[in-house]
Structure 1
Amino acid sequence: MKRLATVIGVVALGLAGLTACGGGDDSSSDSGSSPNAPASSQAATGAKLATADVGSFGKVVVDGNGRAVYVFDKDTSGKSNCEGDCLAKWPAVAAGDGTPQLEGIDASLVSTVTRSDGSKQLAIGGLPLYLFASDAAAGDAKGQAVGGVWWLVGADGKKITTQPSSSGNGNGY
């Protein structure tokens, strides 16, 4: 039950972050929108990926909120193998509906994969991208090398296998 509450909290925070990122006012007199348009303008946009300096790892790929993204060694190119409890700890980086906004990342490296539930997930070099639920803020990289299978992604799209300076928590999948 605690895990479900954590997942719901992460989803709520993510949605709140997306809502906060949508500029403009909240009035219903939005010029240019049609009556059949989705309620959220974010639904028609793609996710954002950028690069940022994170700890001793150098420039890594981050999401639109500055949170580090990871790849999973048990995934194969074009397919996510993180489901259930794994997905609760390692939420997928959702692709959104539009073209991803990229800063500092070669667009030819970025693609999407279709998850088993039909949702779209961003990928780099064909490998699906995830966040780590224990990374509370931009600049955190607590998921690096967890279980020896979770890795940050460098600006070049390759996984970073540098071990963190402190020992990992071993709670990865």
Structure 2
Amino acid sequence: MDGSRMAHRRFLLALALVVGLSPAAQADVTMTIFNAGRYGPHLTDEGKHEYYLFTADQQGTSTQLPVSNCYDACAEVWPPVIADDGVKTDGPVDRSLIGRMERRDGSVQLTFNGWPLYRYVKKTGGGGAQTGRESELSGHGKQEFGGTWYLVSPEGMPVSEQ
């Protein structure tokens, strides 16, 4: 990609962040299961970017709607997985556990087993964001914004180290 096209892409990404669009927002979301060493099987997208749940959220049940408690500064570090359109699955993902919830801003967040789903964006020292695989796994077990963040098991529960 030439320099001007790369600069244009950076500008569009920066513009999306300024107007509040999350890099996690997608027309279609793909869910798959990745088996990574000490964490074992957990949910990811097709690019192996991990999905997380937040213990400060309210898990949805048959009688209670899910509730996200991650907004503002929290949602900058832990962007919700927004799924306005379809959800695709690849591999043995239990589709019956996939759901959606409406956030207070009207966007539609993906849920799994009633838990609202997020991604992790690690802030780097230079003020930028690091979103590669290494940084994403570093979000597992992190305690911030009033709860603990966990990778999501294929059953829709917090993953524990193996």
Secondary structure of 1:56 counterpart: helix
What is aligned with 1:158?
Answer: 157
TM-score, length-scaled by structure 2:
0.69
Quick one: structure 1 residues 13 and 119, their matched pair in 2 at CA, closer, same or farther if it must change by over 3 Å? closer
Q: Report the alpha carbon displacement of residue 137 of structure 1 after superposing the two structures with TM.
A: 2.2
Q: Is the 8 A contact 2:41 2:154 kept in 1?
A: yes
Task: Note if 1:83 corresponds to 2:71.
Answer: yes
Shift of 1:123: 0.6
- Say if 1:111 and 1:122, in contact at 8 Å, map to a contact too: yes
* Residue 124 (structure 2) pairs with residue 136 (structure 1): no
TM-score with structure 1 length normalisation?
A: 0.65
Whether 1:95 and 2:94 are equivalent positions in the alignment is: no
Identity of aligned residues (%): 30
What amino acid maps onto 2:132 in structure 1?
Answer: A
Which has more strand, going by share of residues?
2
Larger relative contact order (C-alpha < 8 A, sep ≥ 6)?
Answer: 2
- Matched residue, 1:119: 107
Q: Distance in 2 between matches of 1:54 and 1:96?
A: 29
* In structure 2, C-alpha distance between the alignment counterparts of 1:58 and 1:85, rounded to whole Å: 30
Where in structure 1 do 4 or more consecutive aligned residues deviate above 4 Å? 11-15
Secondary structure of 2:53's partner? strand
Q: Which consecutive residues of structure 2, in runs of 5 or more, have no partner in the other structure?
A: 1-13, 60-65, 123-129
Kindly report the root-mean-square deviation, in angstroms, between the aligned alpha carbons of the 2 structures. Answer: 2.8
Query: Residue 146 of structure 1 is aligned with which of 142, 146, 152?
Result: 142
**Corresponding residue SS for 1:59:** strand
> In structure 2, what is the Cα distance between the partners aligned to 1:13 and 1:97?
16
* TM-superposed deviation, 1:60: 0.8
The number of residue pairs the alignment matches comes to: 130
Q: 1:49 aligns with which of 22, 28, 31?
A: 31
Cα deviation code 1:22-76 (max 9, x no counterpart):
xxxxxxxxxxxxxxxxxxxxx4xx3111111234111110023210110000000
List runs of 5+ in structure 1 lacking aligned partners: 19-42, 164-173
2:11: which partner in 1?
none
